[in-house]
Amino acid sequence: MNLRAHKSKQLALDRCLQLLEEAQVRGQARIDGPLGALLRRHLERAGVIADHRLEGRRIDRVLDDVFALQAQLLGQAPENSRHHNGA
């Protein structure tokens, strides 16, 4: 993957994190329709196709997933999280 494509994917994942964190600050615990649509658009820009609905999922779980995607993009093993270690 060239540097430009890599940077574009990273920026799209960063935007997903920002959207999710802003929703948490507003007190939102789950993804609603408008947030789901925005996330899906940015995930597609990052080259990720959501294989299931985002709407209704807990925001903290989706944050874990996006952090794991970032780690993969950076060539790192994802850190253990609530989602991945069953806690």
> Which pLDDT score is estimated for 28?
97
> Which structure tokens are listed for 76?
């790192």
Decide: helix, strand or coil at residue 71: helix
Is residue 38, in this structure, part of any structural domain at all? yes
pLDDT at 86 over 50: no
In contact, 48 and 68? CB cutoff 8 Å:
no
Its pTM surpasses 0.85: no
Is residue 83, in this structure, part of any structural domain at all? no
Is residue 81, in this structure, part of any structural domain at all? no
For 85, other C-beta atoms within 10 Å of its C-beta total 9
Range of the domain at 68: 3-74
- Taking only the tens place, the pLDDT of each residue in 26-85 is 999 999 999 999 999 999 988 888 777 899 999 999 999 999 999 998 887 655 544 444
Is residue 15, in this structure, part of any structural domain at all? yes
Among the ranges 5-9, 19-23, 68-72, 83-87, which has the highest mean pLDDT value?
A: 19-23
> Which pLDDT score is estimated for 27?
97
The tally of domains found in the chain comes to 1
